[in-house]
Structure 1
Amino acid sequence: MSQQPFSWELLSKAPVVGIIRGLQPDDIDHILPVYREAGLTTIEITMNTAGATSIIQNARQHHAEGLNIGAGTVCTLDDLDLALDAGAQFVVTPVISKKVIKACVKRDIPIFPGAFTPSEIYKAWSLGASMVKVYPATSLGPEYIRDVKAPLNQLRLMPTGGISLDNMAAYFKAGADGLGIGSHLFDKALIQAKNWTGLKTHLQNFVSCMQAAMGQR
């Protein structure tokens, strides 16, 4: 799979990374165009989803227009090679793996490693992270992002975990550079019912909330 570069322009237009985990390939095929039509631009498929590499490959072949498609839950160099061979344009990890971060930096692949404490966040950044995934953000809340950014304002942070329509604006106002959103974005009931129109409306609500929050920064 040819490596079409990640578009930072697309991400800055809609700084949300949608996280697809454990969904069926057929459903993902329906979700990706709906996701793009709703105004979202960047999506990660986790490597612990069954058939992840073929899903990434298929997504890059058929849905690449206007979408950044990456791989999540990349923990090892083997995972990384599989993800990049499948055509992933960016990489997200749940933890700091120095080897994975360095390999991405060397290959000019955007890397969003997971970190929790200020020391971990700074370490990930100093190793070359493009943006640091602050995970799990659920227990920390938006104020934590504001507190970390106060002395470390050059860092780009992407809180992930427990982000919903109710709190996403607060995270943007606290200085988040992006948000990682999984189950709240990909509503299980709508997907099980194959209600793609309903899913599009649901995703558009997130886009409206995101645009309003970004307008107030």
Structure 2
Amino acid sequence: MNSKVSTTFSWELFTKAPVVGIVRGLSFDDMRQLLPVYREAGLTTIEITMNTPNAEAMIQYALENEHKGLNIGAGTVCTEDDLDKALAAGAQFIVTPVLNKKVVKACVKQGIPIFPGAFTPTEIYNAWKLGASMVKVYPATSLGPGYIKDVKAPLNQLRLLPTGGIHLSNMASYFTAGADGVGIGSHLFDKNLIQQKNWAGLKSHFEQFAKLLN
């Protein structure tokens, strides 16, 4: 990591466009092409999952070349080993699909924003108590926006990031229900547009999400 590169997560940037874009399984070259497009469309926060080939090199590249105006994080961090690799690559925030207490505590200790995955109200509350910056409610696909509203009713101090099955036509309803952000993968990173290297089309697609946020 170049020591001149800021490794600090910007909440100001995230609040501008509270979407965590999830990059999974894309090639290094596609990721390199889409980062500026993502930023130009008005989106600000992106995670590269650790089970993507060359994830560490991708995170490092993104931080060194495209960090201005973007938060760059690591997703699918399941173990302390994953966490060590992600932080060594320079990840500015960490997302997990499951609640691993050791991973959460390590991030809290180092001042790294952590969005751990949880499903039930008890898991969500426990993740928050451990010091999660936001709790990734995953998978949100089967739960829907109503679940976010129900959890927030007695636990309104929690910050929730529903992830899974969120797309253009239902995203607004999650925010109406009280979500503090959303995580979006395949519905955001349209595979057909990426395979066609249609970066202008992808930018227009990203802009639709950015417009909805405003």
Give the match for residue 162 of structure 1: 165
Aligned to 1:48: 51
In the TM superposition, what whole-angstrom CA distance separates every residue of 1:108-143 from its partner, at most 9, and x where no partner exists?
000000000000000000000000000000000000
Task: Structure 1: give runs of 5+ residues left out of the alignment.
Answer: 212-217
1:183-202 matches, cutoff 5 A: 183-202=186-205
Q: Does 1:32 align with 2:35?
A: yes
Which of 76, 81, 100 aligns to 2:79? It is: 76
Number of the residue aligned with 1:203: 206
- Equivalent of 1:7, from 5, 10, 33? 10
Please report how far the alpha carbon of residue 209 of structure 1 lies from its aligned counterpart in structure 2 after TM superposition. Answer: 1.2
The alignment's TM-score, normalised by the length of structure 1, stands at 0.96
Which letter does structure 2 place at the counterpart of 1:174?
A: A
| 1:191, distance to aligned residue in structure 2 (A) | 0.2
Aligned AA for 2:57? Answer: S
TM superposition shift of 1:145? 0.2
1:145 aligns to 2:155 (yes or no): no
Distance 1:62 1:54 in 2: 12
Asked if 1:177 corresponds to 2:180, the answer is yes
CA distance in 2, matches of 1:171, 1:40: 18
What is the aligned length?
211
Kindly indicate whether residue 66 of structure 2 is the aligned counterpart of residue 63 of structure 1.
yes
What letter matches 2:93 in structure 1? Answer: F
Corresponding residue number in structure 1 for 2:24:
21
After superposition, what is the alpha-carbon deviation per residue over 1:72-129, rounded to whole angstroms, capped at 9, x for unaligned? 0001111101000000000000000000000000000000000000000000000000
User: 1:31 and 1:162 mapped to 2: Cα distance?
Assistant: 22
State the one-letter code of the partner of 2:186.
S
Letter in 1 for 2:152: K
Give how far 1:21 is off: 0.1
Alignment pair present for 1:121 and 2:124? yes
Question: Where does structure 2 lack aligned partners over 5 or more consecutive residues?
Answer: none
* TM-score for the superposition, normalised by structure 2: 0.98
What is the alpha-carbon distance in structure 2 between the residues aligned to residue 210 and residue 145 of structure 1?
18
Runs of 4+ in 1 over 4 A off after TM superposition: none
Deviation at 1:34, TM superposition (A): 0.2
Q: Distance in 2 between matches of 1:196 and 1:176?
A: 29
* Rounded Cα–Cα distance in structure 2 between residues aligned with 1:107 and 1:41: 23
Residue 115 of structure 2 aligns to which amino acid in structure 1?
A: F
Give 2:89's aligned residue: 86
Identity %: 73
- What's 1:214 paired with? none
